[in-house]
């Protein structure tokens, strides 16, 4: 049952019942409307939601309060991901939408929010990049999806909104001939073994820094990747891969095996000289002088300094992973094998990331088909 009653010049009170398993519960909500007709339209929306099971109890909780509660209880998110979500929320979401009651958030709010970010959302009131706007939208969308699942809102108003177009940037890699130049410059440098391993295995920065000697099989020329080192504002943390594909065994070329043998010998000599004793299976392959983990951000900083000092191609440490993938793709290795070495969830994901590199092999594909059609090898 329902009843609509005027409460003021521009307000009405709707009384309605919601059936439950054992009894009906009565709810009251105030509607802002100048005329009875307008109030009836708003009341009809609420009653329709009740009839279809989409009704949610009225709440005054703001976007800011809900996102804070969501992030405080987002136990399934990795530490680095959670840190990035908090950063996007505090800088790009809450200053614009935080005061809006969650249940009153509309698509028009989000469209206007995008426009403001693109115009003045950056540091010092400068335009914010479309890529960052998309990232902020993703966080808001994920938060609203959780609110919808918890039946706090009737729908996710961020769903289906057109996002800013992001220009696709070509992935930075070491090109043909540059790998040899980089390795020559690294001769006898402390970064040499980890850079060789990064290029030859395609492992991520955190995966390399989490490697233990027990994960290395020099006789079989393989390494087992079973965890990663994560750096956040809270400190360092070893974590397991997100998916089963992240746990993998990667074969190494002879040059990487030799680099690891040399590195292990030097590490052993240093440990004995410092009284640390021999390495155990749990000893980190790459560590500080005292055996403690190397900061991932510190590794990237040292690599960047080395690149600038030696005037090498200006690429990030992560680009060494891309170099590994691009080298395999250029050789004609199938996407599934490349995907498994990189620890991707699927070959399709690998194709999406490196699609432009696969397209460069189209001429070779045409030549192969020409030979097949002519019956030649």
108 shares a domain with 85:
yes
Element (H, E) at 262: helix 254-273
- Whether residue 329 is contained in a domain is answered as yes
Q: Are 261 and 221 in contact (CB under 8 A)?
A: no
How confident is the model at residue 349, as a pLDDT? Answer: 76
| More confident: 45 or 209 | 209
- Whether residue 368 is contained in a domain is answered as no
205 shares a domain with 342:
yes
Q: Kindly tell me if the per-residue pLDDT of 66 is higher than 70.
A: yes
| More confident: 188 or 303 | 303
Beta strands in the chain (DSSP E): 2-6, 11-18, 25-32, 216-217, 222-225, 228-232, 235-239, 248-251
247 shares a domain with 135:
no
85 shares a domain with 194:
no
211 shares a domain with 313:
yes
74 shares a domain with 30:
no
- Whether residue 169 is contained in a domain is answered as no
251 three-state secondary structure? strand
Question: CATH number for the domain including 200?
Answer: 1.10.443.10
Residue range 213-231, pLDDT digits in tens: 999 999 999 999 999 999 9
Q: Kindly tell me if the per-residue pLDDT of 161 is higher than 70.
A: yes
Number of separate domains in the chain:
3
278 shares a domain with 198:
yes
Q: Kindly tell me if the per-residue pLDDT of 328 is higher than 80.
A: yes
Of 133, 149, 165, the residue at which a domain comes to its end is: 149
Inter-CA distances, 242 with 212, 292, 350, Å: 19, 24, 17
Q: Are 262 and 196 in contact (CB under 8 A)?
A: no
- Rounded CA gap, 310 and 298, in Å? 18
301 shares a domain with 212:
yes
- Whether residue 316 is contained in a domain is answered as yes
347 shares a domain with 200:
yes
Q: Are 84 and 93 in contact (CB under 8 A)?
A: no
Q: Kindly tell me if the per-residue pLDDT of 360 is higher than 60.
A: no
* Domain extent at residue 288: 178-359
Residue recorded with tokens 């043998």: 261
Q: Is the dihedral of CA 326, 232, 76, 242 positive or negative?
A: positive
Q: In which band, very low, low, confident or very high, does the pLDDT at 363 lie, cut at 50, 70 and 90?
A: low
- Whether residue 377 is contained in a domain is answered as no
- Rounded CA gap, 307 and 305, in Å? 5
- Whether residue 326 is contained in a domain is answered as yes
128 shares a domain with 29:
no
Mean pLDDT within 323-337 = 86
- Whether residue 365 is contained in a domain is answered as no
| More confident: 335 or 209 | 209
Residue range 13-42, pLDDT digits in tens: 888 887 765 667 787 778 888 899 999 998
- CA–chain centroid gap for 63, Å, is 23
Residue range 254-289, pLDDT digits in tens: 999 999 999 999 999 999 988 888 899 999 999 998
Q: What are phi and psi of 9, to 5 degrees?
A: -65, -35
Lowest mean pLDDT among 61-65, 196-200, 323-327, 354-358: 354-358
Q: Is the pTM of this model over 0.85?
A: no
Mean pLDDT within 90-102 = 96
Number of neighbours of residue 342 by Cβ within 10 angstroms: 24
Q: In which band, very low, low, confident or very high, does the pLDDT at 2 lie, cut at 50, 70 and 90?
A: confident
144 shares a domain with 183:
no
Number of neighbours of residue 351 by Cβ within 10 angstroms: 17
325 shares a domain with 236:
yes
- Whether residue 375 is contained in a domain is answered as no
Mean pLDDT within 310-324 = 93
243 three-state secondary structure? coil
């Amino acid at each position: 049952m329902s009843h609509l009653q005027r409460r003021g010049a521009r307000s009405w009170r709707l009384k309605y019942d919601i059936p439950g398993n054992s009894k009906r519960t009565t709810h009251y909500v105030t509607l802002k409307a100048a005329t009875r007709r307008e109030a009836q339209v708003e009341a009809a929306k609420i009653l329709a939601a009740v009839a279809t099971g989409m009704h949610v109890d009225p709440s005054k909780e703001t976007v800011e309060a809900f996102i804070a509660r969501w992030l405080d209880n987002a136990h399934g998110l990795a530490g680095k991901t959670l840190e990035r979500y908090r950063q996007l929320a505090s800088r790009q979401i809450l200053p614009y939408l935080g005061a809006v009651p969650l249940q009153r958030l509309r698509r028009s709010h989000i469209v206007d929010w995008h426009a403001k970010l693109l115009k003045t959302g950056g540091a010092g009131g400068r335009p914010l990049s479309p890529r960052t706007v998309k990232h902020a939208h993703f966080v808001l969308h994920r938060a609203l999806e959780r609110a919808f699942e918890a039946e706090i809102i009737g729908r996710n108003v961020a769903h289906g909104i057109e996002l800013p177009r992001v220009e696709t940037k070509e992935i930075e890699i070491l090109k043909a001939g540059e790998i040899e130049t980089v390795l020559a410059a690294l001769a006898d440098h402390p970064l040499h073994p980890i850079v060789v391993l990064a290029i030859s295995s395609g492992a991520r920065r955190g995966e390399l820094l989490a490697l233990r000697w027990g994960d290395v099989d020099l006789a079989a020329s393989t390494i087992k990747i079973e965890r990663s080192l994560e750096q956040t504002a809270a400190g360092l943390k070893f974590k397991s891969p997100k998916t089963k594909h992240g746990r993998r065994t990667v074969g190494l070329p002879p040059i990487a095996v030799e680099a690891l043998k040399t590195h292990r010998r030097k590490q052993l000599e240093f440990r004995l000289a410092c009284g640390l004793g021999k390495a155990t299976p749990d000893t980190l392959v790459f560590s500080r002088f005292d055996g403690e983990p190397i900061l991932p951000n510190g590794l990237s900083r040292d690599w960047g300094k080395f690149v600038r000092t030696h005037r090498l191609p200006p690429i990030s440490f992560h680009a060494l992973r891309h170099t590994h993938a691009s080298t395999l793709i250029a050789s004609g290795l199938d996407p599934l094998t490349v995907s498994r070495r990189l620890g991707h969830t699927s070959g399709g994901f690998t194709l999406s990331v490196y699609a432009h590199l696969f397209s460069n092999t189209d001429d070779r594909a045409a030549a192969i088909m020409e030979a097949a059609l002519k019956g030649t090898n």
